[in-house]
Amino acid sequence: MSVPKPPTSGSNQIASPVPHLSPTVPSPALSFPTPSLRNIPGSFAAFCEGCHPQGGTVPGIGPSLRGVAERHSTDFIRQQIRRGRGDMPGFQDRLSEEEMEQLLAYLRTLEGPPTFNRIPPPPDPAAIARGYALFRERCESCHLDGGRRPGVGLGFEPPAPILVDELRRHTPTWIAQQIREGGGQMPAIGADLTDVQVADLIAYLSALASESEERR
């Protein structure tokens, strides 16, 4: 589907679709081994497997964890496990330091791009248009090409992620919290936004995800 720009002042017409580049799709020739079940720590099986099945290599209730140690710092992942975020509970009171280090070591073995299965339904065109306007105002300085390419805004290292992928990797609840509160390298760009405005931003990102799926 095409993602419209917000209407210009005094016009009842929706502007032409936002120019874009095709999303980068990993080469089908690439393959990454699935971790042996013998190498999965007992703490992962006890606390993580229910939401991140097959050793975290495929999405379940939670996202695929392939490449998570490449996208985020060890400290960020440790805090995520301890405190939780969005739909994910915290496990601070149930994991020993030894178990935490075993989990972190295991996550570093999960190589390759994550697998996706979250394909959001096409949202309301008016919400998409409002969300695009907000995106231009709040997000585009760090997330390039409307969120379709990795961004280097503010010198981020690693680069700001491709938001098309992030929407399919996480739940809307998690994304709304990220917009409001920030996390990792991302500042809280939406702390002053209303619930409707946050929903409009997610509607715009949902349209990108639907569009990229149609192009595959």
Q: Are residues 129 and 210 in the same domain?
A: yes
State pLDDT tens for residues 56-65: 888 877 888 9
Would the pLDDT of 16 be above 50?
no
Q: Is the pLDDT of residue 33 over 90?
A: no
pLDDT mean across residues, the chain: 76
Do 76 and 143 share a domain, yes or no? no
Q: Is the pLDDT of residue 134 over 50?
A: yes
Q: What is the domain count for the chain?
A: 2
C-beta of residue 135 within 8 angstroms of C-beta of residue 189 = no
Give the CATH number, domain containing residue 50: 1.10.760.10
Where among 107, 140, 165 does a domain terminate?
107
Phi-psi label, residue 55: left if phi above 0, alpha if psi -120 to 50, beta otherwise: left
Domain residues for 100?
37-107
Residue 14 has what pLDDT? 33
The pLDDT assigned to 193 comes to 93
pTM > 0.75 = no
Q: Would you say 209 and 164 are in contact if contact means Cβ atoms under 8 Å apart?
A: yes
Cis peptide bond prior to 158, omega within 30° of 0: yes
Residue 7 has a pLDDT of 40
Single out the residue in 54, 81, 107 at which a domain terminates.
107
Q: What average pLDDT does this structure show over 71-83? A: 91
* pLDDT of 141 above 60: yes
What is residue 183's three-state secondary structure? strand
Cβ-in-10-Å burial (0-12, 13-18, 19+) of 21 comes to exposed
pLDDT in tens, 148-172: 776 665 566 677 777 877 776 777 7
Q: Is residue 113 part of a domain?
A: no
First to last CA, the chain: 12
Summarised one tens digit per residue, pLDDT across range 35-59 is 655 678 888 988 998 888 889 888 8
CA-CA distances (angstroms) from residue 4 to 77, 129, 145, 180, 210? 36, 6, 14, 24, 13
The angle, 0 to 180 degrees and rounded to 10, between the axes of the packed helices 195-214 and 172-181 is 130
